[in-house]
A and B are shown apart, each in its own frame.
Chain A
């Protein structure tokens, strides 16, 4: 007898070998769920190795999705459902599964060999050891059932087993009343040229779906669509949104987009995305190294394009000298850092926010560069747009910080119409002669002349330049003045920011939770819950980190304490303490993982007191 229950939100964690197609299953569940109108947030978590040793804990690839009929801001800490394709996936994730949660285990993945590879006791199947009261356990021999379903197809055993992920996905679809059509459409297009593989995947998906009906005493769950703000939505992944933001901004500015990058996790998807959209007049350049990527972008900007480069922490370190050059040249340039765990090679596929001080300070000399941060997957679009706007309108490099979590994470997005995006003005030189390359307007922005313009030939470079003329100058007073002008022109950008708006909470109170970047969702949930508990707490999230907003000082002073949760060892805390006379408490997590809302809520409670 199948029972039905309603849920307002559910977190599902798919886990298996890195070759098991977990990311594909996860992203398909995401798309399907988005199209069913749920709010959602995802967190793909995979090893740095492409094919880590099979069956080992190190090789486990995971994908968590949190979806619901209510507002969802994080991928959730403890999943309600764990899909474990093998023993290693079980071992790594079982302690996170909520008590009473659903465990779907692929029986074939718990044989002696798999237990050995997972460094578990071979003589005991851990599934036998679970207390039935702790979990709703579904032991399904996915491998065998899937092979049976594909009986008669002209495929080897290995190829048949490759569609196991679709069987498991099909079962979860049944359990949560998901619609099969989006995935069927996806499969049809992906395997267009391989009809047998297509057939195998379709059969596997449907067999998994119908398998649910054969189990007795099973509970199916309904998660109704969320009451999102009215409008048209799509599902969006952060790096994709970032690429779109760059394209949109370049079009609105009337500039050709020139993007140079060197392959690096987790930024490479931006290069892949833009390389697929050359029909927007985009030129993509896979450079020989990180330094070439930024200097080629500088060259392109010198030639009149919008130069953009993206990388992660190690690449930022290599680009440092060229960033200084772009400060001196005063040309538009967008530098994206999709942060990952550091230092050095660090944790390439894990998330962290530890490059903030590098972004603000990491150059030789007095070299101010505006720094802005994206707060969610969809917000990467607007952050990229804003970074480009500042870069172009102020003739400056801009650093845009994203991170692995939002770069790979997905969420529904009520996307804008291009007509509603604000226009970007390019400060071209309007005259015909008397051009002084470093003469400035009231915002201290120099005007732009492109090679190819008659009679305005000029030279720029990394040596200190004489005020206005831009000629090389070693004059002591001139240098000091130029350093101050470069600092002031960047600080003036803050005059254009919109007034700060608290995300939630009262205008005055005991605790202000101040965040930046990808911690937005977790902080939002934590503060919402704290408010529900009656605490005097508010949330403020920074888009612009350098220069700080002019009104930040006033907002901070409206609270007794500022709590700053960060995925680093206290970098924004350091900046805030240095700049403002306010009581700062840092909440730091440096595990390569995003915050759970509960971790932040707990800290709010401590700081707030009774």
Chain B
């Protein structure tokens, strides 16, 4: 998977196809950051594969100059699982969206997460069905007015990170299209993680759901609402004015200018699954400056054996126990008789 001294630039990862997302779509930023960060990742282009399902985000592989497959709705994690199992040397990236990954393909997503193949799942979450022109998605908020919910959605939305943790994911992160530096950093970490990396990317659909993530992208508001996670650092936000501490397992927002110093705060540890679960619950449906901020960064990262390694180990074990398979022995079996 490592380069043979090939020095790539972002341009090397750009295909000759015209990009056909709507002008202003958040997908452009994600594509650009992917292409920008790839030269830093040390992946040989010949080993790079993008697998997608169906939806706006799933056009992504066509725009990458690498191997790729635009498969069918919701099935990218299953396609990618077969691909990675067949050839573990490849760097496999799954591109999906909130409809593709959490609705029609929800089953494949959770099973991919528990199996833990060494692949990366980028879930572009725009909280809407874009390519079918604006129906509510499994991440749309309750009461959302769309073409298919003229009186407001009555579907309680998924919490995509809590879902992933519940599905035994080994790497769970969130980032946002409008923060290129953070996005690149998370992509890099996702690549480095050995196992299935699950990255939710807040992505603005400026046509059908414009401003869905404004609280976390708008310069004036995002400080009060975003919590940027850094390993080993205390949880502070809102320009250092606020912090988070744990009272037992109950999180608490504290004002830093009063009685609390950084040493009182909860220190982020992405290896701690209990803390990761608490962070994943910072998911207020009506965020205000008084509610918990939305965390961005790596909530959880765990070293666990990968599926393809376990698969290879079993094949090695079978070789040890049974010896290399001989076709004629197999076909004849142990009990034969001869007719003269």
Contact = CB atoms under 8 A, between A and B. Distances in A.
A284 to B, nearest CB: 9
Contacts of A277: 318, 325, 330
B322 interface: yes
B338 interface: yes
A244 B331 contact: yes
A300 B73 CA distance: 18
A472 B62 contact: yes
B86 interface: yes
Interface string A485-511: 000000000000000000000000000
A232 B82 contact: no
Contact of A232 (B81, B107, B336): B336
B327 A418 contact: yes
Nearest to B17: A471
B145 to A, nearest CB: 31
Contact of A457 (B67, B83, B321): B67
A302 B46 contact: no
Nearest to B4: A454
Contacts of B327: 247-248, 251, 280, 418
Contact of A260 (B45, B82, B319, B339): B82
B66 interface: yes
Q: Which 4 A-B pairs give the minimum distances between C-beta atoms?
A: A461-B70, A299-B82, A296-B82, A280-B325
Interface string A288-318: 1101100111111111110100000000000
Contact of B83 (A279, A302, A416): A302
B72 A322 contact: yes
Contact of A322 (B49, B51, B68, B75): B75
Contact of A299 (B51, B62, B70, B73): B51
A212 to B, nearest CB: 25
B150 interface: no
Interface string A455-480: 11111111100000001100000000
B338 A231 contact: yes
B258 interface: no
Given A244-B330, A299-B86, A232 B338 contact: yes
A292 B107 contact: yes
Interface residues of A, number: 75
B332 interface: yes
Contacts of A452: 46-47, 87, 89-90
Given A418-B327, A452-B87, 16 more contacts: A182-B335, A228-B339, A230-B340, A231-B339, A278-B314, A281-B315, A283-B86, A292-B108, A302-B79, A303-B90, A307-B82, A322-B75, A451-B67, A451-B83, A462-B54, A472-B17
A260 B79 CA distance: 11
Contacts of A454: 46
A283 B327 CA distance: 16
Contacts of A140: none
Interface stretch (A31-39, A152-160, A347-355): A31-39
Contacts of B89: 452
Interface in A256-302: 256, 258, 260, 277-281, 283, 285, 287-289, 291-292, 295-302
Contact of A415 (B17, B46, B66, B332): B332
A583 to B, nearest CB: 42
Contact of B46 (A280, A291, A453): A453
Contact of A418 (B73, B315, B331): B331
A516 B338 CA distance: 30
B85 A258 contact: yes
B60 to A, nearest CB: 10
B82 A233 contact: no
Nearest to A252: B327
Contacts of A558: none
B87 A304 contact: yes
Interface string B302-331: 000000000100110011011111011011
A118 B75 CA distance: 48
A459 B331 contact: no
Contacts of A251: 327
Contacts of B48: 457
B71 interface: yes
Given A234-B333, A248-B331, A321-B72, A299 B46 contact: no
A462 B70 contact: yes
A461 B62 contact: yes
